[in-house]
Amino acid sequence: MARSLDIGGDFPLLARRINGQPLTYLDSAATTQKPQAVIDAIRDYYERYNANVHRAAHVLADEATAALEDARAKVAALIGAGEARQIIFTRGTTEGINLAAACLTDRFGPGDEVLITEMEHHSNIVPWQLLCQRSGAALMACRVTPTGEIDLEDFHAKLGRHTKLVAVGHVSNALGTLNPVADLIDAANRQGALTLIDGAQAVQHVDVDVARLGCDFYAFSAHKLFGPTGIGALYGRADLLESLPPYQGGGEMIEHVSIERTTYNKLPYKFEAGTPNIAGAIGFGAAVDYLGGLPREALRDREAALVSEAIRHLKQVPGVRMVGEPSERVSVVSFLIDTGHPHDFGTLLDQQGIAVRTGHHCAMPLMERLGIPGTIRASFALYNSATDVERLVAGVEKALEFL
Protein backbone atom coordinates (compact mmCIF):
# COMPACT_ATOMS: atom_id res chain seq x y z
CA MET A 1 0.00 0.00 0.00
CA ALA A 2 1.30 3.48 -0.81
CA ARG A 3 2.78 5.34 2.16
CA SER A 4 0.58 8.20 3.36
CA LEU A 5 1.88 11.76 3.10
CA ASP A 6 1.00 12.27 6.72
CA ILE A 7 4.41 11.34 8.12
CA GLY A 8 4.35 13.66 11.17
CA GLY A 9 3.51 10.68 13.38
CA ASP A 10 6.95 9.19 12.64
CA PHE A 11 8.52 12.03 14.63
CA PRO A 12 7.78 11.69 18.36
CA LEU A 13 8.87 15.24 19.20
CA LEU A 14 6.25 16.77 16.90
CA ALA A 15 3.56 15.57 19.33
CA ARG A 16 4.89 17.93 22.03
CA ARG A 17 2.98 20.95 23.21
CA ILE A 18 4.96 24.16 23.59
CA ASN A 19 3.69 26.92 25.87
CA GLY A 20 0.40 25.08 26.10
CA GLN A 21 -0.04 25.00 22.30
CA PRO A 22 0.45 22.29 19.69
CA LEU A 23 3.90 22.60 18.14
CA THR A 24 4.30 24.04 14.67
CA TYR A 25 7.94 23.36 13.91
CA LEU A 26 9.23 25.65 11.17
CA ASP A 27 12.94 25.60 11.97
CA SER A 28 14.06 22.59 9.95
CA ALA A 29 16.74 24.60 8.13
CA ALA A 30 18.49 24.82 11.50
CA THR A 31 17.92 21.16 12.25
CA THR A 32 15.24 18.63 11.37
CA GLN A 33 13.37 16.54 13.91
CA LYS A 34 14.27 12.85 14.08
CA PRO A 35 12.01 9.93 13.17
CA GLN A 36 11.59 7.04 15.61
CA ALA A 37 13.56 4.81 13.23
CA VAL A 38 16.69 6.94 13.67
CA ILE A 39 16.29 7.15 17.44
CA ASP A 40 15.83 3.36 17.58
CA ALA A 41 18.90 2.66 15.42
CA ILE A 42 21.15 4.70 17.72
CA ARG A 43 19.68 3.11 20.81
CA ASP A 44 20.03 -0.38 19.28
CA TYR A 45 23.73 0.21 18.66
CA TYR A 46 24.36 1.21 22.27
CA GLU A 47 22.15 -1.54 23.69
CA ARG A 48 23.30 -4.45 21.51
CA TYR A 49 26.61 -3.98 19.73
CA ASN A 50 28.53 -0.99 21.09
CA ALA A 51 32.24 -1.46 20.38
CA ASN A 52 35.03 0.43 18.73
CA VAL A 53 35.34 -0.14 14.99
CA HIS A 54 38.05 -1.71 12.80
CA ARG A 55 41.15 -3.52 14.04
CA ALA A 56 39.38 -5.80 16.57
CA ALA A 57 38.81 -9.52 16.62
CA HIS A 58 35.50 -9.88 18.39
CA VAL A 59 31.89 -10.08 17.37
CA LEU A 60 30.77 -6.73 18.72
CA ALA A 61 33.57 -4.88 16.93
CA ASP A 62 32.75 -6.73 13.71
CA GLU A 63 29.09 -5.81 13.98
CA ALA A 64 29.85 -2.16 14.77
CA THR A 65 32.33 -1.98 11.87
CA ALA A 66 29.85 -3.54 9.47
CA ALA A 67 27.14 -1.07 10.56
CA LEU A 68 29.48 1.92 10.15
CA GLU A 69 30.57 0.84 6.67
CA ASP A 70 27.01 -0.01 5.71
CA ALA A 71 26.02 3.55 6.65
CA ARG A 72 28.86 4.91 4.51
CA ALA A 73 27.61 2.93 1.51
CA LYS A 74 24.06 4.24 2.05
CA VAL A 75 25.28 7.84 2.22
CA ALA A 76 27.34 7.30 -0.96
CA ALA A 77 24.29 5.91 -2.78
CA LEU A 78 22.10 8.78 -1.58
CA ILE A 79 24.21 11.39 -3.38
CA GLY A 80 25.32 9.29 -6.34
CA ALA A 81 28.94 8.86 -5.25
CA GLY A 82 30.40 5.99 -7.27
CA GLU A 83 32.33 4.50 -4.36
CA ALA A 84 31.84 4.44 -0.59
CA ARG A 85 35.53 5.38 -0.09
CA GLN A 86 34.68 8.80 -1.53
CA ILE A 87 32.58 9.52 1.58
CA ILE A 88 34.53 10.89 4.53
CA PHE A 89 32.57 11.02 7.76
CA THR A 90 32.89 14.44 9.39
CA ARG A 91 31.21 16.28 12.26
CA GLY A 92 29.04 18.03 9.69
CA THR A 93 29.11 20.47 6.78
CA THR A 94 31.33 22.87 8.69
CA GLU A 95 34.01 20.30 9.31
CA GLY A 96 33.76 18.99 5.74
CA ILE A 97 34.48 22.43 4.29
CA ASN A 98 37.26 23.06 6.82
CA LEU A 99 38.79 19.69 5.94
CA ALA A 100 38.81 20.50 2.23
CA ALA A 101 40.20 23.99 2.84
CA ALA A 102 42.92 22.76 5.23
CA CYS A 103 44.06 19.98 2.92
CA LEU A 104 44.05 22.22 -0.16
CA THR A 105 45.97 25.11 1.40
CA ASP A 106 49.38 23.98 0.12
CA ARG A 107 48.13 24.14 -3.46
CA PHE A 108 47.40 27.87 -3.21
CA GLY A 109 49.72 30.84 -3.34
CA PRO A 110 49.80 34.56 -4.13
CA GLY A 111 47.98 35.27 -7.39
CA ASP A 112 45.48 32.44 -6.91
CA GLU A 113 41.82 33.14 -6.18
CA VAL A 114 38.98 31.39 -4.38
CA LEU A 115 35.56 32.41 -5.68
CA ILE A 116 32.54 32.25 -3.35
CA THR A 117 29.30 34.26 -3.30
CA GLU A 118 27.86 36.84 -0.92
CA MET A 119 25.08 34.35 -0.18
CA GLU A 120 27.24 31.82 1.63
CA HIS A 121 26.81 30.55 5.16
CA HIS A 122 29.76 31.58 7.34
CA SER A 123 30.89 27.93 7.13
CA ASN A 124 31.57 28.45 3.44
CA ILE A 125 33.34 31.79 3.94
CA VAL A 126 35.62 31.60 6.96
CA PRO A 127 37.49 28.38 6.00
CA TRP A 128 38.41 30.03 2.68
CA GLN A 129 39.51 33.20 4.46
CA LEU A 130 41.80 31.01 6.57
CA LEU A 131 43.14 29.30 3.44
CA CYS A 132 43.81 32.72 1.89
CA GLN A 133 45.50 34.06 5.03
CA ARG A 134 47.80 31.06 5.13
CA SER A 135 48.57 30.85 1.43
CA GLY A 136 48.50 34.43 0.18
CA ALA A 137 45.60 33.66 -2.20
CA ALA A 138 42.72 36.15 -2.61
CA LEU A 139 39.07 35.59 -1.72
CA MET A 140 36.56 36.86 -4.30
CA ALA A 141 32.82 37.03 -3.66
CA CYS A 142 30.27 37.10 -6.44
CA ARG A 143 27.42 39.59 -5.91
CA VAL A 144 23.87 38.63 -5.03
CA THR A 145 20.91 40.34 -6.74
CA PRO A 146 18.22 42.21 -4.76
CA THR A 147 15.90 39.22 -5.32
CA GLY A 148 18.41 36.97 -3.59
CA GLU A 149 19.99 35.14 -6.51
CA ILE A 150 23.58 34.75 -7.62
CA ASP A 151 24.40 37.55 -10.08
CA LEU A 152 25.51 35.29 -12.93
CA GLU A 153 27.07 38.10 -14.93
CA ASP A 154 29.24 38.97 -11.95
CA PHE A 155 30.03 35.28 -11.39
CA HIS A 156 31.30 34.89 -14.93
CA ALA A 157 33.21 38.17 -14.71
CA LYS A 158 34.95 37.05 -11.52
CA LEU A 159 35.63 33.49 -12.67
CA GLY A 160 38.94 33.70 -14.52
CA ARG A 161 42.27 32.10 -15.08
CA HIS A 162 43.34 32.98 -11.53
CA THR A 163 40.37 31.14 -10.01
CA LYS A 164 41.62 27.92 -8.47
CA LEU A 165 38.51 26.98 -6.57
CA VAL A 166 34.79 27.83 -6.63
CA ALA A 167 32.83 27.18 -3.42
CA VAL A 168 29.07 27.73 -3.58
CA GLY A 169 26.01 26.80 -1.55
CA HIS A 170 23.50 24.56 -3.32
CA VAL A 171 20.58 26.15 -1.43
CA SER A 172 20.72 29.36 0.62
CA ASN A 173 19.82 28.74 4.25
CA ALA A 174 18.69 32.36 4.67
CA LEU A 175 16.46 32.73 1.59
CA GLY A 176 15.93 29.22 0.21
CA THR A 177 17.41 30.15 -3.19
CA LEU A 178 18.16 27.04 -5.25
CA ASN A 179 21.37 27.93 -7.04
CA PRO A 180 22.16 26.70 -10.58
CA VAL A 181 25.14 24.72 -9.29
CA ALA A 182 25.38 22.41 -12.32
CA ASP A 183 26.02 25.44 -14.57
CA LEU A 184 28.43 27.00 -12.09
CA ILE A 185 30.40 23.75 -11.80
CA ASP A 186 30.54 23.43 -15.60
CA ALA A 187 31.88 26.95 -15.92
CA ALA A 188 34.45 26.34 -13.15
CA ASN A 189 35.53 23.05 -14.73
CA ARG A 190 36.08 24.82 -18.05
CA GLN A 191 38.43 27.22 -16.26
CA GLY A 192 40.24 24.31 -14.61
CA ALA A 193 39.08 25.41 -11.15
CA LEU A 194 38.18 22.97 -8.39
CA THR A 195 34.63 23.06 -7.04
CA LEU A 196 33.10 22.55 -3.61
CA ILE A 197 29.35 22.57 -3.07
CA ASP A 198 27.90 23.30 0.36
CA GLY A 199 24.89 20.98 0.29
CA ALA A 200 23.76 21.50 3.90
CA GLN A 201 20.33 22.79 2.85
CA ALA A 202 19.95 20.85 -0.37
CA VAL A 203 20.12 17.12 0.25
CA GLN A 204 16.76 16.94 2.02
CA HIS A 205 14.96 18.88 -0.67
CA VAL A 206 16.52 18.04 -4.05
CA ASP A 207 18.01 14.93 -5.64
CA VAL A 208 21.75 15.24 -5.55
CA ASP A 209 23.95 13.30 -7.95
CA VAL A 210 27.56 14.30 -7.41
CA ALA A 211 28.79 12.24 -10.36
CA ARG A 212 26.40 14.02 -12.72
CA LEU A 213 27.15 17.43 -11.17
CA GLY A 214 30.86 16.85 -11.67
CA CYS A 215 31.89 18.70 -8.51
CA ASP A 216 35.11 17.88 -6.70
CA PHE A 217 33.68 18.12 -3.18
CA TYR A 218 30.17 18.07 -1.75
CA ALA A 219 29.63 18.67 1.99
CA PHE A 220 26.49 18.09 4.06
CA SER A 221 25.21 17.33 7.57
CA ALA A 222 23.06 14.43 8.78
CA HIS A 223 21.10 16.55 11.23
CA LYS A 224 19.43 18.54 8.46
CA LEU A 225 18.37 15.25 6.90
CA PHE A 226 16.48 13.65 9.83
CA GLY A 227 19.73 12.19 11.20
CA PRO A 228 21.69 12.95 14.37
CA THR A 229 23.91 15.93 15.12
CA GLY A 230 27.70 15.63 15.15
CA ILE A 231 27.94 13.64 11.91
CA GLY A 232 28.08 14.60 8.26
CA ALA A 233 29.76 13.66 5.05
CA LEU A 234 32.30 15.15 2.71
CA TYR A 235 32.23 13.62 -0.75
CA GLY A 236 35.46 14.03 -2.68
CA ARG A 237 36.69 13.01 -6.10
CA ALA A 238 38.77 9.87 -5.42
CA ASP A 239 41.95 10.85 -7.29
CA LEU A 240 41.90 14.29 -5.70
CA LEU A 241 41.44 12.85 -2.20
CA GLU A 242 44.28 10.42 -2.88
CA SER A 243 46.58 13.28 -3.77
CA LEU A 244 45.79 15.48 -0.74
CA PRO A 245 47.69 15.45 2.54
CA PRO A 246 45.81 14.18 5.61
CA TYR A 247 43.62 16.49 7.70
CA GLN A 248 44.40 15.39 11.25
CA GLY A 249 46.93 12.91 12.57
CA GLY A 250 46.11 10.07 14.91
CA GLY A 251 44.86 6.53 15.08
CA GLU A 252 43.05 4.97 12.12
CA MET A 253 44.48 7.36 9.51
CA ILE A 254 47.85 5.58 9.42
CA GLU A 255 49.25 2.58 7.61
CA HIS A 256 52.58 2.42 9.45
CA VAL A 257 54.10 4.66 12.10
CA SER A 258 57.68 4.94 13.26
CA ILE A 259 59.07 7.80 15.30
CA GLU A 260 60.66 9.21 12.14
CA ARG A 261 57.79 8.95 9.70
CA THR A 262 54.27 7.74 8.98
CA THR A 263 52.61 6.29 5.93
CA TYR A 264 48.91 6.86 5.59
CA ASN A 265 45.89 4.62 5.36
CA LYS A 266 43.81 4.29 2.20
CA LEU A 267 40.63 6.29 1.52
CA PRO A 268 38.56 7.29 3.34
CA TYR A 269 40.42 6.43 6.56
CA LYS A 270 43.31 8.74 5.74
CA PHE A 271 40.92 11.59 6.58
CA GLU A 272 39.26 10.00 9.62
CA ALA A 273 41.75 10.20 12.48
CA GLY A 274 40.54 8.87 15.82
CA THR A 275 37.46 6.92 16.87
CA PRO A 276 34.63 8.05 14.60
CA ASN A 277 31.13 9.02 15.68
CA ILE A 278 29.92 5.43 15.30
CA ALA A 279 26.44 5.93 16.76
CA GLY A 280 26.08 9.06 14.64
CA ALA A 281 27.05 7.26 11.45
CA ILE A 282 24.59 4.46 12.21
CA GLY A 283 21.87 7.04 12.84
CA PHE A 284 22.86 8.76 9.57
CA GLY A 285 22.43 5.45 7.72
CA ALA A 286 19.05 4.94 9.36
CA ALA A 287 17.99 8.42 8.23
CA VAL A 288 18.95 7.57 4.65
CA ASP A 289 16.91 4.35 4.92
CA TYR A 290 13.99 6.31 6.34
CA LEU A 291 14.12 8.77 3.44
CA GLY A 292 14.30 5.89 0.98
CA GLY A 293 11.01 4.51 2.31
CA LEU A 294 9.14 7.78 1.80
CA PRO A 295 7.16 8.89 -1.25
CA ARG A 296 9.67 11.68 -1.66
CA GLU A 297 8.38 13.13 -4.91
CA ALA A 298 4.87 13.56 -3.56
CA LEU A 299 6.15 14.89 -0.24
CA ARG A 300 8.38 17.41 -1.96
CA ASP A 301 5.52 18.58 -4.16
CA ARG A 302 3.42 19.06 -1.06
CA GLU A 303 6.24 20.88 0.73
CA ALA A 304 6.69 23.21 -2.27
CA ALA A 305 2.95 23.89 -2.29
CA LEU A 306 3.05 24.71 1.43
CA VAL A 307 5.94 27.13 0.91
CA SER A 308 4.03 28.86 -1.93
CA GLU A 309 0.89 29.04 0.21
CA ALA A 310 2.82 30.53 3.12
CA ILE A 311 4.35 33.18 0.84
CA ARG A 312 1.01 33.99 -0.78
CA HIS A 313 -0.70 34.50 2.58
CA LEU A 314 2.14 36.34 4.31
CA LYS A 315 2.40 38.79 1.39
CA GLN A 316 -1.18 39.82 2.08
CA VAL A 317 -0.58 40.58 5.77
CA PRO A 318 -0.14 44.34 6.23
CA GLY A 319 3.21 45.10 7.89
CA VAL A 320 4.97 41.99 6.52
CA ARG A 321 7.79 42.42 4.00
CA MET A 322 9.14 39.34 2.21
CA VAL A 323 12.92 39.07 1.85
CA GLY A 324 14.21 37.51 -1.37
CA GLU A 325 12.13 36.47 -4.36
CA PRO A 326 14.32 33.84 -5.99
CA SER A 327 12.85 32.20 -9.08
CA GLU A 328 13.74 28.77 -7.72
CA ARG A 329 13.42 28.24 -4.00
CA VAL A 330 13.07 25.41 -1.53
CA SER A 331 11.85 25.19 2.04
CA VAL A 332 12.57 28.69 3.30
CA VAL A 333 10.32 31.74 3.74
CA SER A 334 12.18 34.80 5.05
CA PHE A 335 10.39 37.99 6.00
CA LEU A 336 10.54 41.17 8.07
CA ILE A 337 7.91 43.13 9.91
CA ASP A 338 7.71 46.92 9.71
CA THR A 339 6.95 47.51 13.35
CA GLY A 340 9.48 45.61 15.40
CA HIS A 341 12.61 43.60 15.81
CA PRO A 342 12.67 40.06 14.35
CA HIS A 343 13.77 38.63 17.68
CA ASP A 344 10.78 40.02 19.62
CA PHE A 345 8.56 38.73 16.87
CA GLY A 346 10.08 35.26 17.15
CA THR A 347 9.29 35.26 20.88
CA LEU A 348 5.67 36.21 20.18
CA LEU A 349 5.39 33.30 17.74
CA ASP A 350 7.03 30.93 20.22
CA GLN A 351 4.37 31.82 22.79
CA GLN A 352 1.89 30.42 20.27
CA GLY A 353 3.87 27.19 19.83
CA ILE A 354 5.37 28.27 16.50
CA ALA A 355 9.13 27.69 16.22
CA VAL A 356 10.90 29.91 13.67
CA ARG A 357 14.40 31.35 13.61
CA THR A 358 15.32 35.02 13.67
CA GLY A 359 18.57 36.83 13.00
CA HIS A 360 21.29 36.84 10.37
CA HIS A 361 21.23 33.04 9.91
CA CYS A 362 25.06 32.88 9.81
CA ALA A 363 24.96 34.84 6.56
CA MET A 364 26.08 38.33 7.60
CA PRO A 365 27.52 39.34 4.19
CA LEU A 366 24.15 38.48 2.59
CA MET A 367 22.28 40.56 5.17
CA GLU A 368 24.68 43.43 4.51
CA ARG A 369 24.14 43.15 0.75
CA LEU A 370 20.35 43.22 1.28
CA GLY A 371 20.71 46.13 3.75
CA ILE A 372 18.90 44.38 6.61
CA PRO A 373 20.01 43.23 10.06
CA GLY A 374 18.36 39.84 9.77
CA THR A 375 15.06 38.14 8.98
CA ILE A 376 12.33 36.00 10.48
CA ARG A 377 12.75 32.61 8.83
CA ALA A 378 10.17 29.85 8.60
CA SER A 379 11.66 26.70 7.09
CA PHE A 380 9.61 23.71 6.02
CA ALA A 381 10.38 20.01 5.88
CA LEU A 382 8.61 16.93 4.57
CA TYR A 383 6.63 16.51 7.81
CA ASN A 384 4.93 19.92 7.74
CA SER A 385 1.26 20.19 6.84
CA ALA A 386 -1.32 22.75 5.75
CA THR A 387 -2.18 23.22 9.43
CA ASP A 388 1.36 24.53 10.00
CA VAL A 389 0.85 27.17 7.29
CA GLU A 390 -2.51 28.19 8.79
CA ARG A 391 -0.99 28.44 12.26
CA LEU A 392 1.99 30.44 10.98
CA VAL A 393 -0.17 32.99 9.16
CA ALA A 394 -2.61 33.32 12.07
CA GLY A 395 0.33 33.51 14.48
CA VAL A 396 1.98 36.30 12.47
CA GLU A 397 -1.28 38.28 12.39
CA LYS A 398 -1.71 37.88 16.12
CA ALA A 399 1.93 38.75 16.92
CA LEU A 400 1.61 41.93 14.85
CA GLU A 401 -1.14 43.11 17.21
CA PHE A 402 1.45 43.28 19.97
CA LEU A 403 4.15 45.19 18.11
Residue 38 or 400: the one with the smaller Cβ distance to ligand PMP is 38
Residue 310 and residue 302 in contact, taking contact as beta carbons nearer than 8 Å: no
- Binders of ligand PMP in range 284-313 (CB under 6 A): none
Of the candidate residues 201, 204, 265, 277, the single one contacting ligand PMP (CB under 6 A): 201
The stretch among 90-98, 135-143, 279-287, 364-372 that binds ligand PMP (CB under 6 A) is 90-98
Of the candidate residues 35, 92, 176, 276, the single one contacting ligand PMP (CB under 6 A): 92
- Write down the catalytic residue from 103, 142, 215, 362: 362
Residue 67 or 222: the one with the smaller Cβ distance to ligand PMP is 222
Is residue 142 annotated as a catalytic residue, yes or no?
no
Of the candidate residues 112, 198, 272, 303, the single one contacting ligand PMP (CB under 6 A): 198
| Strands 163-169, 194-198: pairing kind | parallel
Distance of closest approach, residue 219 Cβ to ligand PMP, in angstroms: 8
The verdict on 94 binding ligand PMP (CB under 6 A) reads yes
The stretch among 116-124, 278-286, 351-359, 364-372 that binds ligand PMP (CB under 6 A) is 116-124
Of the candidate residues 33, 123, 145, 195, the single one contacting ligand PMP (CB under 6 A): 123
The verdict on 86 binding ligand PMP (CB under 6 A) reads no
The verdict on 385 binding ligand PMP (CB under 6 A) reads no
Q: How many residues bind ligand PMP, per CB under 6 A?
A: 14
The verdict on 326 binding ligand PMP (CB under 6 A) reads no
- Binders of ligand PMP in range 353-372 (CB under 6 A): 362
Residues making contact with ligand PMP (CB under 6 A): 92-94, 121, 123-124, 169, 173, 198, 200-201, 221, 223, 362
Which residues are designated catalytic?
Answer: 362
